């Protein structure tokens, strides 16, 4: 846990030094995404009985905020520090195993991911004028943990493998947009041809989206499917342990 504590401390003081920017993004991002999607996609958004129409978009918006927030934070940090400050070399030379190093880095963004999700949820509930059940919101925060960890793990993998920060930022942007749409976070999967739907339904991000809607809107969902995102986190964890020496040793 010492590395989680070290990296969490580092994130916390970094956020504290840039609190104006961090807070502005946390407040404006949900409003910005909601406004854009609400105006653009209101016709393709499914209607829900007992719930405001655009509430269907809320789980997807919160998921993309936590997922993208973790991915971009870790990716930028790796790109900035892997060669310039040899920070990760310091980590490798410390009495820390590769597993605890990878765990420490990826999990350090978890608290801020949850905090952003809570803030986003409150703002969006205020905008639509409807509050989800307390139990649904608590369960949803557990799903946010999965989303943040997957984002952080992908950010770490991309950061380790990337040579050029600028060209990879474009890849990240396309990845986020692609995942947002192909995981049914912004539009229902039914708009895709059936053959593609079958593949998209087993994406870990799709499972997170479906599960989020199930807990917030009280729908039935086979929770055993959560083993897909859990397995994805596990696979990325092992992959990152394997890749980590690339940025930490010569």
Partner 1 sequence: MEASVSLKKIGKVLNGRSVLAGLSFGIERGSIMAIVGPNDSGKSALLRVISGFSKPEYGSIFIDGKDVHLRRLETAKHIGYMPQKINFDNDLTIFENFQFYGKIYNMEPKMINRRIALLSDQLGFRHFLNDFPFELSSGFQKKALLARTLLTDPEVLLLEEPTSSLDLRSQYLVWDFLQEMSGDKTIIYTTHSIREAERVHDRIVVMHHGHVALDGALDKLLENSGELFHFQIHFQSLEKEIYEKLSKITTVVSPSQVGQVFDFYARERKVFFDVMRLAIEEELIGYNADKVGLETLIMTSTEE
Q: Tell me if 93 contacts partner 1 by CB under 8 A.
A: yes
Distance in Å, CB of 84 to partner 1, minimum? 8
Listed ranges 13-21, 143-151, 155-163, 170-178: which one lies at the site for partner 1 (CB under 8 A): 13-21
Q: Tell me if 10 contacts partner 1 by CB under 8 A.
A: yes
Residue whose CB is less far from partner 1, 93 or 122? 93
Q: Tell me if 97 contacts partner 1 by CB under 8 A.
A: yes
Q: Is the dihedral of CA 154, 155, 156, 162 positive or negative?
A: positive
First to last CA, the chain: 26
Distance in Å, CB of 94 to partner 1, minimum? 5
Residue whose CB is less far from partner 1, 42 or 90? 90
List 27, 52, 81, 241, residue binding partner 1 (CB under 8 A): 81
List 45, 86, 137, 197, residue binding partner 1 (CB under 8 A): 86
Q: Tell me if 165 contacts partner 1 by CB under 8 A.
A: no
Q: Tell me if 24 contacts partner 1 by CB under 8 A.
A: no
**Angle formed at CA 169 by CA 148 and CA 39, multiple of 5 degrees:** 70
Distance in Å, CB of 81 to partner 1, minimum? 7
Q: Which residues bind partner 1 (CB under 8 A)?
A: 2-3, 5-6, 9-10, 13-14, 17, 81, 85-87, 89-97, 249-250
């Amino acid at each position: 846990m010492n590395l989680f504590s070290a990296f969490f401390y580092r994130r916390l003081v970094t956020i504290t030094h840039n609190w104006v920017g961090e807070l502005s993004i946390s407040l404006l991002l949900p409003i910005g995404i909601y406004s854009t999607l609400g105006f653009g996609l209101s016709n393709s958004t499914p209607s829900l009985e007992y719930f405001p129409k655009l509430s269907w978009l809320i789980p997807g918006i919160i998921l993309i905020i936590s997922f993208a927030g973790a991915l971009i934070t870790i990716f930028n940090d790796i790109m900035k520090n892997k060669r310039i400050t040899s920070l990760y070399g310091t980590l490798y030379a410390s009495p820390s195993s590769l597993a605890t190093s990878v765990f420490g880095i990826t999990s350090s963004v978890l608290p801020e991911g949850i905090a952003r999700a809570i803030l986003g949820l409150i703002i969006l509930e205020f905008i639509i004028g409807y509050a989800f059940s307390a139990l649904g919101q608590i369960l949803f925060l557990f799903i946010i943990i999965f989303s943040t960890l997957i984002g952080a793990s992908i950010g770490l993998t991309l950061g380790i493998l990337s040579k050029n920060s600028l060209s990879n930022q474009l890849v990240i942007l396309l990845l986020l947009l692609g995942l947002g749409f192909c995981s049914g976070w912004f539009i229902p999967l039914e708009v895709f041809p059936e053959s593609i739907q079958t593949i998209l339904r087993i994406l870990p991000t799709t499972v997170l989206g479906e599960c989020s809607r199930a807990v917030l809107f009280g729908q039935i969902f086979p929770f055993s499917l959560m083993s897909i995102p859990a397995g994805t986190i596990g696979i990325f964890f092992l992959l990152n342990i394997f890749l980590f020496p690339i940025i930490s040793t010569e």
